Structure 1
Amino acid sequence: MEYYAGLDVSMEETHICVLDREGALVREGKTRSSPAMIATFLADGPPCEQVIFETGRMAPMLYHGLVEQGVPVQCVESRQAYQALKSLAGHKTDRNDARGLAHLARTGFYKLTHVKSLSAHAIRSLIAARKKLVGQRVTIDNQIRGLVVVFGVRLPRALSPAFKDAALKISDGVPGLHAALCGLFAAREAILTAVAAIDADMKRMARASRVCARLMTVPGVGPITALAFAAAIDEPSRFRRSRDVGAYLGLVPRRYQSGEIDYSGSIPKRGDIRVRTLLYEAANVMLTRCAGTLKLKTWALAIGARSTMRKARVALARRLAIVMHAMMRDGTEFQIA
């Protein structure tokens, strides 16, 4: 007899349901959300052919931990599972969700999703932290501009040395304003120091990686873009074709077809928003700052001449994703011509 299990995971507890091939309930319960406890619960029952759970914040830790425990676990797409679970139970409970996931495992009606390695998640965490710090720095800069504009002062570029000097100069003799600006500039300096440390770490990691070193040969691609793209792809072999990467990152046109209606719209913007943004910026750099004749640049400029430069940047970003995936998969270098 074959058995299948579904896991409904939360931060504290995981509800587990085990069904047989015919859908009869064999065992259910709940345990702590740790790989060892879940593996122990499953080991006390009949061996399962398949164990599935939905994507979420706990997915990387649980997936890799359960694989190490020898559990035949798979992670499924949460959006697809959500639509299926709505039709299987009238009430939304953790117990019913676990049973519904077990039914999905039994019937095979689920869409598998790749769980990135923990090293890839570590790089993504570094990039996310940098983005948050840069956003906080911009917020502080705007706050400083708002405080001094009341006194009729327009400050220069935020990253220039004159920015701080001009702001503190106007605050001399104004006790309340001076104290406020000193506090904001102290926080700003701490953020800039943290960003500089992260940038140094990312440059060191990019230089140490052969994959990132190859990706950085693409005009417009720097250490941040190379690391983010490599972490997002993780395993190049999981894509059957390089052009599938464009759809994975949400860079292909959205299509709607029903009966006589069939049209293509703007990109769906699904997938990793940070990687998509970095590729778009790399495409803009290639179009505006890279001198010389590049085949990709000429191709994108032709699109811009026929349509708009925005569409040209999106198309070039999609093509860059395809080229960079092929470089990761085949170990080839970027071809200028």
Structure 2
Amino acid sequence: MVRIIEDLAGDWRRLDERVEGLSNEIEAIARQDAGCGRLMSVPGIGPIISSAMVAAIGAGDVFTKGRDFAAWLGLVPKQISTGDRTILGKISRRGNRYLRVLFVQAAWVVLIKPKSWERHGLKSWIEAAKKRLHRNVLAIALANKLARIAWSVLAHGRSFEASKFNEAIT
């Protein structure tokens, strides 16, 4: 039994080494690409999300606006409309599941680091949304916001700047 556990531990170490090697390779590729570099300036977005986004949509010219990109990811609520009444439901979950999951993870990373909110210009928005939304809904809303920001950064060829983002909010 001890030998089996030692073999499994050895397999685990080899897998950790392989994951580390692949992560380093992805990071090197992301740092070489200009679009990935700009995307990594957005809060919560690192080499994996930036390289996945560039691989999925290229320069972002497929979409006319960030809202279309967020809808393609499935980060917008389903809308049920009858007459003059509009009901917003759960997120649609259409589109690229892998990217959607990555953006939700990025949102959770941003949410668990409140000290970085002000530096990234998200403090007022997150605090206002926190008062009215459940934490899981807040994470999806922030993922939607981050996806829109990421599309804008990629499509317009500029890095994320918190000062410009703050001016847009007010």
Q: Report the TM-score range of the alignment, normalised by the length of the smaller protein.
A: 0.7 to 0.9
Corresponding residue for residue 68 of structure 1: none
Q: Using the TM superposition, give the Cα deviation of residue 212 of structure 1 relative to its aligned residue in structure 2, in angstroms.
A: 0.8
Give CA deviations for 1:27-76 in whole Å, capped at 9, x if unaligned. Answer: xxxxxxxxxxxxxxxxxxxxxxxxxxxxxxxxxxxxxxxxxxxxxxxxxx
Residues paired across the two proteins, number: 161
Aligned partner (choices 30, 36, 51) of residue 206 of structure 1: 30
Is 1:234–2:55 an aligned residue pair? Answer: no
- Corresponding residue number in structure 2 for 1:195: 19
Q: Quick check: 1:225–1:279 contact (8 Å CA) kept in 2?
A: yes
**TM-score of the pair, normalised by structure 1:** 0.45
> Aligned match of 1:246 in 70, 82, 89?
70
311, 316, 324: which one pairs with 2:142?
316
* Gaps in structure 2 of 5+ consecutive residues: 164-170
Distance 1:290 1:202 in 2: 28
User: Runs of 4 or more off by more than 6 Å in structure 1?
Assistant: none
Which of 312, 329, 333 is the aligned partner of 2:155?
329
Distance 2:3 2:79 in 1: 55
Larger strand proportion of the pair: 1
What are the Cα deviations for residues 180-208 of structure 1, in whole angstroms up to 9, with x where unaligned?
A: 20221122122112101101101100110
Letter in 1 for 2:16: L
Give the deviation of 1:258 after TM superposition: 4.2
Q: Which moved more, 1:256-265 or 1:244-253?
A: 256-265
Q: 1:298: which partner in 2?
A: 124
Name stretches of at least 5 consecutive residues in structure 1 with no aligned partner.
Answer: 1-176
- Aligned CA RMSD, in angstroms, stands at 1.8
Could you say which residue in structure 2 is the equivalent of 1:221?
45
Q: Deviations over 1:201-233 (max 9, x none)?
A: 011001101111111111221111111122222
Corresponding position of 2:113: 289
Aligned-residue offset at 1:287: 2.1
1:33 paired residue number: none
Q: Which residue of 2 aligns with 1:99?
A: none
Distance 2:104 2:113 in 1: 14
Mapped to 2, the partners of 1:250 and 1:296 lie a distance apart of 22
Q: Distance in 2 between matches of 1:241 and 1:285?
A: 25
Give the structure, 1 or 2, with the largest relative contact order (CA under 8 Å, sep 6 or more).
Answer: 2
TM-score, normalization by structure 2 = 0.86
Cα distance in 2 for residues equivalent to 1:301 and 1:244: 26
Give the letter aligned to residue 125 of structure 2.
W
Counterparts of 1:20-31 in structure 2, within 5 Å, are: none
Which has more helix, going by share of residues?
2
**Greater C-alpha radius of gyration:** 1
Q: Counterpart of 1:266 in 2: which secondary structure? A: strand
Matches within 5 A, 1:51-70: none
